[in-house]
Amino acid sequence: MRRTVLPSILVATILLFSGCLSGDDAGGKTTKRAGGIVTKAPTPAEQAVAQLLDLEFDPVQVIDKEHAGGEPVILVDKKGIYILSSHPGYTHIRGPDTDLATGTTGQAFVWRSEDKGKNWQFVGIPGVGMGPRNAATSVSDPDLAMSPDGTVFLSTLQSLVSIPVEISKDSGKTWSGQPFHGPVGVDRNWIEACNDKDVYQVYSSFAHAPLTAIPGGPFGSGGRWFAHSTDGGQTWLDQHATNAGGGNLACDQNTEGGKYLYIGGGTALSVSTDKGKTFKRISVPDHRGSGGLSEPAVDKAGNVYTTWIENSTTDPHVYYAYSRDHGVSFERAVEIPVDGLPKGTMIWPWITAKDEGHIGIVWYGASKLGSSTSFGTDVEWHVYSAIVPNALDPVPTASVAKASNTFIHKGAICVGTVCQANPGPSGDRRLGDFFTATFDHDGALVIATGSTAPVQGTGPIDGAGLSHPAVIKQTAGPSGLLGVVLGGNATDAR
């Protein structure tokens, strides 16, 4: 196995053709050229030339000032409609906030946009916003999935007791379902659809006593559990313990009827070819374990990817790895050039893929190095992104930029759940544990994030104690589509 580094073009070449290395943020849009030359490589590496492409994004758009936005998940459905869901904030509260009471509907929140993210509509229960949503309580941990026929699934968590699943056949306007399942003592659920019938979930179980409410019980061994629905999410009769990782699910819907199912997390990816009955853990080359692997992403050709950050608090380096053989093996690790970006702690990488070899990676970056729980209120956090339109090439290229035109958070970030019990600055968990991104039908990278930055029109006890849902959309640069470059003066380097 070998590691390939993606440095920027040589300084002399940049000066000759572009006149400067990078531009600082100014005003609404953010523009930055790909990062500086990578001078530290753990192993001898090929030198790849970065694309001379601008990567630009719209300003951070807070889509709702009255509802919480921690751990947002985003999906673009078959019609191009954006659907976003977020954690209501019951376990992400930081100080008083009237929105926790006035904004809540007893459910994880859902929004939708029919105009590619320009305007957003809140989808509430009957009588509260659009809808109707199911009149079900589901207080946290949303995740979205879509089957090939366009059905959208929303998995949520009900107070560590059960995992309701709502189903929409009309692009998120209305929702049905809400099957009760899972042993008592459940947490962090993820959902994925591999075809129109086979829908899967993976979740943590803290149960230690048998539960017979679900046919096929009992439960009680704890650990990671897997659930399989054979009727499009209506019932979940097949549930069992699994040895797979603790991350998100991804399915290759375009190969053999959705045969290949992946789970991320930890130090290896897991792959199943028998509908989740068994999983095989696949090692990723050059992954040293200092940064956990992200959820997997699958492109339209069936290639699977993962990303991670090594030494995130001391000397951060962002990598991705890929498999061309449905997870049988990973060929190599590739480093994203970030040396031209501000040097600071990096956390929570997320990867998405669209056309063959086209991937996008996002992460949070701080303005200084160190533990995220130790930062003072002067430390700013931004959203950063990288787009690689030829991720499978022997010499890949990447565009890297600060995606957020303003900070999305200041100060400490509590990583995990235990630290939230700390009443001091290090207990700030308003952003949750992750954020997400996807490509839309135009190939634009669309990032869903929480934001604790001041929201216009809110006071000290209204909007200060929770994060709010925000979206950042790409406007220029390489896209998720083959041969398509967005906006401005960018040209396709392929």
| 40 or 306, greater pLDDT | 306
- pLDDT in the model for residue 37: 27
Say whether pLDDT at 488 is over 80: no
Tell the burial category of 16 from Cβ atoms under 10 Å away from its Cβ (0-12, 13-18, 19+): exposed
How would residue 211 be classed by pLDDT, with cut points 50, 70 and 90? very low
Q: What is the CATH number of the domain that holds 279?
A: 2.120.10.30
Supply the pTM of this predicted model: 0.87
Query: Within 13 A of 409's CA, how many CA atoms are on the CB side?
Result: 31
Say whether pLDDT at 364 is over 70: yes
Contact 346, 294 (CB under 8 A): no
How would residue 225 be classed by pLDDT, with cut points 50, 70 and 90? confident
Please give the Cα distance from 305 to 391 (Å, whole number).
Answer: 9
- Report the pLDDT averaged over residues 68-77: 94
- pLDDT in the model for residue 7: 41
Q: Tell me if 312 is assigned to some domain.
A: yes
| 393 or 186, greater pLDDT | 393
Q: Which of 129-133, 237-241, 256-260, 430-434 has maximum average pLDDT? A: 256-260
Distance from CA of residue 99 to its chain's centroid? Answer: 25
Residue bearing tokens 């959705």? 258
How would residue 182 be classed by pLDDT, with cut points 50, 70 and 90? low
* pLDDT tens profile 403-457: 999 999 999 998 876 776 777 788 899 999 999 999 999 999 999 999 998 776 5
Q: Tell me if 491 is assigned to some domain.
A: no
Say whether pLDDT at 281 is over 50: yes
Please give the Cα distance from 66 to 349 (Å, whole number).
Answer: 27
- pLDDT in the model for residue 132: 54
Q: Tell me if 19 is assigned to some domain.
A: yes
**CA-wise closest residue to 205 among 180, 181, 176, 233:** 181
Q: Tell me if 492 is assigned to some domain.
A: no
Q: Tell me if 494 is assigned to some domain.
A: no
- pLDDT in the model for residue 210: 40
- Report the pLDDT averaged over residues 144-154: 97
Average pLDDT score over the chain: 81
Strand stretches in 210-302, DSSP E = 223-229, 238-241, 249-251, 261-263, 268-272, 280-283, 297-298
Q: Tell me if 415 is assigned to some domain.
A: yes
How would residue 220 be classed by pLDDT, with cut points 50, 70 and 90? very low
Please give the Cα distance from 319 to 333 (Å, whole number).
Answer: 6
Contact 283, 333 (CB under 8 A): no
Amino acid at 301: A
Q: 3-state DSSP: the chain helix, strand, coil percent, rounded to 5?
A: 5, 35, 60
- Report the pLDDT averaged over residues 23-44: 32
Q: Tell me if 160 is assigned to some domain.
A: yes
Contact 186, 220 (CB under 8 A): no
Contact 52, 107 (CB under 8 A): no
- pLDDT in the model for residue 288: 79
Of 112-116, 371-375, 454-458, which range is least confident?
Answer: 454-458
Domain containing 477: what range? 2-486
- pLDDT in the model for residue 218: 41
Say whether pLDDT at 119 is over 90: yes
| 129 or 223, greater pLDDT | 223
Please give the Cα distance from 343 to 348 (Å, whole number).
Answer: 16
Who contacts 221 (Cβ-Cβ below 8 Å, separation ≥6)?
Answer: 205, 241
- pLDDT in the model for residue 346: 96
| Domain count of the fold of the chain | 1
Of 47-56, 131-140, 273-282, which range is least confident?
Answer: 47-56
- Report the pLDDT averaged over residues 201-213: 60
- Dihedral of the alpha carbons of 446, 448, 453, 457, in degrees to the nearest 10: 90
How would residue 469 be classed by pLDDT, with cut points 50, 70 and 90? very high
**CA-wise closest residue to 398 among 2, 3, 4:** 4
Q: Tell me if 95 is assigned to some domain.
A: yes
- Report the pLDDT averaged over residues 377-401: 94
